[in-house]
């Protein structure tokens, strides 16, 4: 599937002097902040959208967090191989299509295109592999066939389920009671008769009348949700990927099952070396979600003339792991900040910006402390505009702008 263009159509960040830091991130499986340790090519997989309500601010906040991971690895001298999927066939998409009277393929294409436009406007670096599930049906079916052949899966009527076994549970660290509850809430079917374990996940949904299906190695039907990411990620990145990312609502069951399926398929462990989750964005005290009808869309804000860089800055002003509120004051505050930074970057001179660059690197390398990084830029910008500092470095405003561009992704 076509990805979206890189900002300025280059995969390089603006060059920065000095010494990058190794990126440390909170790993859900280890329950601690610890260094990422990629090889020359860092491998990133982030679960993509189900294209029926693109792109609300909760989505945007998640993809911005992993965009910073990408940028910090580039700054540290790694190449980055980034893979993202599009769940362009799944029950919620079909339900929405039926409810609105639009064909499901048309709905998926329209929303995926909107998402691409929003990501481009927000200057999110694109994945090299942007893979629709509908493009990957055969490779996913091959994975399911292998799981069946190796006795990691079983047929139940026209469907296929994975056996829950081995290290299952290490990723989320939830108790069995918590897992059962979340599984029922988030698309699982713990009560289906005939399953060997209530937590077993659907790998393949056999053909039903009136539903899309594909003829494959395991018969007609379509992939389950978790196996799609296991196969798409593993076939492009291998095992032990550096970061598997997504929203915190994917901690269980999606990331747990995706990891378990990939590990059963390959006999290797772990699927990912860091499991990283971004918090939810709330509105007026409630999680932003389709069912509550309180979604704020990036495209609506852009359509109303809001600078995408202000949207970006507003979403970065808060820790990525924290659930955050989108209150009325956030956007005006980000717009004022953006104007201040632009005024500072346009000064003929400013205080030496090399210490600022080191502070921004230092804060972001510490589990993406964006509020700390933003505060450092605020201090520099104030000094530059008020000319209170003794420094009068003619190169400083440009270096400040490059720092903010490369590491925070904000174009001044």
Min dist CB 106 to Zn ion, Å, is: 23
CB nearer to Zn ion: give 47 or 288.
47
Question: Cβ neighbours of residue 285 under 8 Å, at least 6 residues apart?
Answer: 325
CB nearer to Zn ion: give 246 or 318.
246
Min dist CB 111 to Zn ion, Å, is: 17
Pairing of strands 79-86, 41-46: parallel
CB 194 within 8 A of CB 202: no
CB nearer to Zn ion: give 47 or 309.
47
CB nearer to Zn ion: give 271 or 380.
271
Of the CA atoms within 13 Å of residue 142, those in its CB half-sphere come to 8
Min dist CB 324 to Zn ion, Å, is: 22
Distance of CA 142 to the CA centre of its chain: 26
Question: Cβ neighbours of residue 11 under 8 Å, at least 6 residues apart?
Answer: 125
CB nearer to Zn ion: give 65 or 229.
229
CB nearer to Zn ion: give 182 or 377.
182
CB nearer to Zn ion: give 229 or 368.
229
Min dist CB 248 to Zn ion, Å, is: 13
Torsion of CA 95, 140, 173, 166, to 10 degrees: 140
CB nearer to Zn ion: give 255 or 330.
255
Question: Cβ neighbours of residue 40 under 8 Å, at least 6 residues apart?
Answer: 78, 79
CA-to-CA separations, 388 to 283, 349, 351, 381, 399, in angstroms, rounded:
39, 12, 9, 11, 19
Min dist CB 34 to Zn ion, Å, is: 23
Min dist CB 229 to Zn ion, Å, is: 3
Counting DSSP H helices and E strands in the chain, the numbers are 13, 15
Min dist CB 226 to Zn ion, Å, is: 7
- Residue 145 CB neighbour total at 10 angstroms: 17
CB nearer to Zn ion: give 258 or 383.
258
Residues that bind Zn ion (CB under 5 A): 47, 229
CB nearer to Zn ion: give 257 or 363.
257
Min dist CB 258 to Zn ion, Å, is: 6
Min dist CB 230 to Zn ion, Å, is: 8
Min dist CB 273 to Zn ion, Å, is: 17
**Tokens in use for 204?**
């393949």
Distance of CA 299 to the CA centre of its chain: 18
CB 298 within 8 A of CB 56: yes
- CA atoms of 404 and 377, how far apart (whole Å): 8
- Residue 82 CB neighbour total at 10 angstroms: 25
**Tokens in use for 215?**
């003829």
Task: Specify the DSSP class assigned to residue 10.
Answer: -
Cα angle 152, 226, 274; round to 5:
100
- CA atoms of 392 and 388, how far apart (whole Å): 10
**Tokens in use for 407?**
């590491």
């Amino acid at each position: 599937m076509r990805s979206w263009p890189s900002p300025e159509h280059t995969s390089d960040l603006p060059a920065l002097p000095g010494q990058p830091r190794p990126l440390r991130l909170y790993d859900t499986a280890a329950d601690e902040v610890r260094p990422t340790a990629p090889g020359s090519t860092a491998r990133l997989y982030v679960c993509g959208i189900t294209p029926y309500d693109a792109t609300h601010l909760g989505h945007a906040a998640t993809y911005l967090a992993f965009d910073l991971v990408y940028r910090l690895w580039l700054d540290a001298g790694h190449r980055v191989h980034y893979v993202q999927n599009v769940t362009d066939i799944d029950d919620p998409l079909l339900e929405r299509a039926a409810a609105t009277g639009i064909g499901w393929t048309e709905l998926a294409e329209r929303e995926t295109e909107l998402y691409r436009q929003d990501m481009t406007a927000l200057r999110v670096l694109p994945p090299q592999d942007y893979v629709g599930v509908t493009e990957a049906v055969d490779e996913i079916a091959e994975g399911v066939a292998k799981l069946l052949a190796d006795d990691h899966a079983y047929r139940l009527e026209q469907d296929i389920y994975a056996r829950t076994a081995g290290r299952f549970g290490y990723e989320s660290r939830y108790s069995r009671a918590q897992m059962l509850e979340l599984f029922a809430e988030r698309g699982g079917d713990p009560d289906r008769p005939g399953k060997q374990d209530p937590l077993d996940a659907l790998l393949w949904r056999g053909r039903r009348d009136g539903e899309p299906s594909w003829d494959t190695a395991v018969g007609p039907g379509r992939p389950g949700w978790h196996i799609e990411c296991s196969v798409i990620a593993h076939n492009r990145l291998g095992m032990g990927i550096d970061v598997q990312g997504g929203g915190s609502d994917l901690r269980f069951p999606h990331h747990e099952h995706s990891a378990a399926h990939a590990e059963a398929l390959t006999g290797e462990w772990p699927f990912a070396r860091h499991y990283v989750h971004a918090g939810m964005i709330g509105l007026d005290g409630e999680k932003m979600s389709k069912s509550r009808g309180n979604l704020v869309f990036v495209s609506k804000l852009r359509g109303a003339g809001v600078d995408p860089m202000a949207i970006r800055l507003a979403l970065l002003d808060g820790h990525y792991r924290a659930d955050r509120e989108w209150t009325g004051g956030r956007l005006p505050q980000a717009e004022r900040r953006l104007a201040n930074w632009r005024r500072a970057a346009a000064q003929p001179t400013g205080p030496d910006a090399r210490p600022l660059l080191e502070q921004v690197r230092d804060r972001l390398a510490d589990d993406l402390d964006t509020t700390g990084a933003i505060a450092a830029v605020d201090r520099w910008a104030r000094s530059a505009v008020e000319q209170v500092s003794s420094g009068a470095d003619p190169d400083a405003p440009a270096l400040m702008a490059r720092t903010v561009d490369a590491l925070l992704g904000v174009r001044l």
